[in-house]
Amino acid sequence: MKSATKKLSTEIAETLTGKIDNVISGSKKIKKSIEKAAEKLAKKVAKFEKDELKRKAKEAKKSEKKGKEKAGNKQKADKKKVKKTGQIADIVATVTAKVPVERPKTVPKPAPAPVKTPRTTKSKVVPPAPVAVITETESN
């Protein structure tokens, strides 16, 4: 019995070691595939960060450029406003500086009487034209 149990235990040990080796090799394969995926992911993250930095740099340049344009446009707009307000102030000053003129008093004119025009022709009622009536005679 000792030999049978020894034999059985060695078989069990061999199968277990084979299975452990399979699991280890499988885990090594899994480990390698995980490492490859991690490398790919790291490359993509690095590329994304690089692109993000470029995009932010472009946005900063655009906003800086817009800031300069807005400052220039704002100065132009302020000059236009000053010019318009100056023109409006001149118009208001000229209007208020004028002496009000009194309206001349007018006497209301009487309404003209309706004019009757004489008729040159009188309309006549025309009687309808006589209609000829044909009668049939008897023939024998």
pTM of the model: 0.35
Three-class HEC string of 75-95: HHHHHHHHHHHHHHHHHHHHH
Q: List pLDDT tens digits, range 36-83.
A: 999 999 999 999 999 999 999 999 988 888 777 766 666 666 666 666
Query: Residue type at 86?
Result: G
Separation of alpha carbons 89 and 77, rounded Å = 18
Q: List pLDDT tens digits, range 29-48.
A: 888 888 899 999 999 999 99
Contacts of 50 (CB under 8 A, 6+ apart): none
135 or 9, greater pLDDT? 9
